[in-house]
Structure 1
């Protein structure tokens, strides 16, 4: 498969969308150093007008702007670990928020040490944000409920420093009416169906119809992000049934030994994890600067798992529009 075919396939999945109810925007997709095409790691999870930033490499606030996303809509920043390429953009992001007039609180969550990092950055730059920042230092297994309704659970990963991955679930969705079943019971679209959707039983022709008779639950989207990690059983567990798994894929498998020594995964490692976890889509992320094209990574991952794309800077992955 040549480069143009790869880009065509990626574009069909990572398409631009101006109105995402739920989706992912890749702000930076490189590993360790930026390249001409890739900035340092950062991901924006967009949900009903709110944004959750996962990792915050240098230039994250600029990438948000280029993607048409306002830093003022960021409700939380989830940091996976304290290596510079994942966290050095955080002080700059908060300063940009202040310059844009932010006053509402911001949640920052990450492993132990993230509070001290921010405190020292503000101390030595002699600047404090004019809005509250609530910092939560998480341990694996701890959970957060965000103002937007998104639910976050941290899990351990296997890197060279203490590091977390995140499983983010959307809240329970309004049940969908099974119209065919409703009509068999004598119901047509209208007020009675509305009452059923609100959880109220209704009476039709002397028969009581309960919500569970005509409603079916809608699946909730689950996005799992590993940050930097070697292949890990904790990722397999956390990613079970995920809609999207964004997995460290720093190297191709010919560099497996170096990848694992440095606390990273190969694209083939990521494909193995995705297959075992049964995810809907695998996104290869954290791409080494040695690769001018992602073709080698995509080719080897697709040998094992067909539903895979390579993240590109500013690409948008709609989950629901």
Structure 2
């Protein structure tokens, strides 16, 4: 235990020195350089806060530059919380927001999510339409009641309810939290439970078996819950398929290896029809324009849309007998984008069949890592020891995340869910640690050279675009 504390303290940017040695008993004191303390440890006096922010300023500039290089897209993921276990002064706990088409889908909802959302200039509470919970651990769920209350503020009376998805037990949790606290400010919501999520513990797991779903509490509309929540059964392959109301996206879930029943989610955008080369159709249409009119066709140019919706081997026959095949004038369909968001896991491979080697963005946890000096003392701890301990708790290292990213050929890997030992501020020591984590997760499959930062260690309120493959390489 002492060794783990020492490692954590050394990773925080200071060092541990023995004060007194008596036999085999040692007392320790911690000396942390003043500039490396976070704002809470540093104190709240104005001059100290000013010094802290001044020390962070260069790092913040580096971060802004990195995000600028990533560019923009009409689909993006905003990281509202990137810590594991407990929130800190520099990181909130798990919540990722997928923004697309004017809507926001949240994945996990750790404690303080409603605060992080109000700090963000990219995620509007009114845009949230659905929440997807990966598992029942508190750092992924404690923020749900508070979030529902935030979403209930200044909400339009005719706004659709918030749809919440997750493993069994989520419905009871939300009911108990809101009803027992008499929280009548919650937005109207429906909870849809994923049935029969299996418990797949990691090797070496010694903890308790999660309780069976046995508690009952009736729904009460006074606290926001509307009828219409459904139980979603898995298909023959053990996959749950969800089509969020009002969205073209399809969300599928598969079980993860963790210490409680857990899923990861894959978000699929529909394929887009290929572009029509009008120049190859227009001359034929002009020759047949009057013939279309004589047959009562009011808008002959609608033939363009008909051709776009045809299969490549299909053809359209014009009034004069001319046949135009879709393959000759319509480009191939443009594949929709795919985003995979893993829950906590020591093995995400059950998501792979859902991806079919197509993944534009993989969000994967990397709870712990062996970083070497000055963060980890190789005489006291080793990469193998870190991996075994991490895996036994149902989590991953950066190397484990990278192996899965390589397997599914992810275009970009974003790491998140970091141990509290890794600060999320922009101090030099913090940035150095996160850069080492990124290097540990270097992708081996050869991400496109046009893809800047193929591996990124997320920080709170960072945002990563999901460009289309063709636009990313054009």
Verify the 8 A CA contact 1:224 1:238 in the aligned structure 2: no
Residue aligned with 1:127, SS: coil
Specify the alignment match of 1:34 in structure 2.
Answer: 87
Between stretches 155-164 and 195-204, larger displacement belongs to 195-204
Change (3 A) 1:173 1:257: same
Equivalent runs, 1:175-190 vs 2, <5 Å: 175-177=274-276, 179=277, 183=279
Distance 1:154 1:296 in 2: 31
- Taking a change above 3 Å as real, the CA distance of residues 197 and 125 of structure 1, as seen in their structure-2 partners, is same
Q: Is the 8 A contact 1:51 1:75 kept in 2?
A: yes
CA distance in 2, matches of 1:115, 1:153: 20
1:201 partner SS? strand
Alignment of 1:1-321 (within 5 A): 7=63, 10-12=66-68, 14-15=70-71, 17=72, 20-68=73-121, 69-103=123-157, 104-129=160-185, 131-138=187-194, 139=197, 140-146=238-244, 147-177=246-276, 179=277, 183=279, 191=301, 193-197=304-308, 199=310, 201=316, 203=318, 207-215=322-330, 216-239=332-355, 240-253=357-370, 254=383, 255-291=386-422, 292-293=430-431, 294-302=434-442, 304=444, 307-320=454-467
Q: Which has the higher strand share?
A: 1
Return the alpha-carbon distance in structure 2 between the equivalents of residues 141 and 83 of structure 1: 21
1:76-113 CA-partner distances (Å, limit 9, x unpaired): 10000111111111101100111222542110000111
Please tell me whether Structure 1 or Structure 2 has the larger radius of gyration of its CA atoms: 2
Shift of 1:12: 4.7
Give the TM-score normalised by structure 2. Answer: 0.60
- What RMSD in Å do the two structures reach over aligned CA positions? 2.9
Query: Once structures 1 and 2 are overlaid, which stretch shifts more, 238-247 or 22-31?
Result: 238-247
Distance 1:157 1:51 in 2: 24
CA-CA distance at 1:262 after TM superposition: 1.1
Q: Give 1:236 deviation, angstroms.
A: 3.2
Q: CA deviation at 1:277?
A: 1.0
Determine helix, strand or coil for the equivalent of 2:441: helix
For structure 1, which segment, 266-275 or 28-37, has the greater mean C-alpha deviation from structure 2 after superposition? 28-37
Give SS of 1:36's match. coil
Cα deviation digits, residues 121-167 of structure 1 (max 9, x gap)? 01211124565311111145111111211101110001101111101
1:206–1:89 CA distance, 2 compared to 1 (3 A): same
Higher relative contact order (CA 8 A, sep 6+): 1
Q: Identify if the C-alpha distance between structure 1 residues 241 and 303 changes in structure 2 by more than 3 Å, giving closer, same or farther.
A: closer
Which stretch of structure 1 is more off in the superposition, 88-97 or 290-299?
Answer: 290-299
Offset at residue 206 of structure 1 (A): 5.3
Deviation at 1:188, TM superposition (A): 10
Gaps of 5+ in 2: 1-58, 198-237, 287-300, 371-382, 423-429, 448-453, 469-474
CA distance in 1: counterparts of 2:186 and 2:316, whole angstroms: 50
Give the TM-score normalised by structure 1.
Answer: 0.87
Q: 1:303 to 1:109 in 2, by over 3 A?
A: closer
CA offset at residue 201 of structure 1?
A: 3.5
CA contact (8 A) 2:135 2:261 kept: yes
CA contact (8 A) 1:13 1:317 kept: no
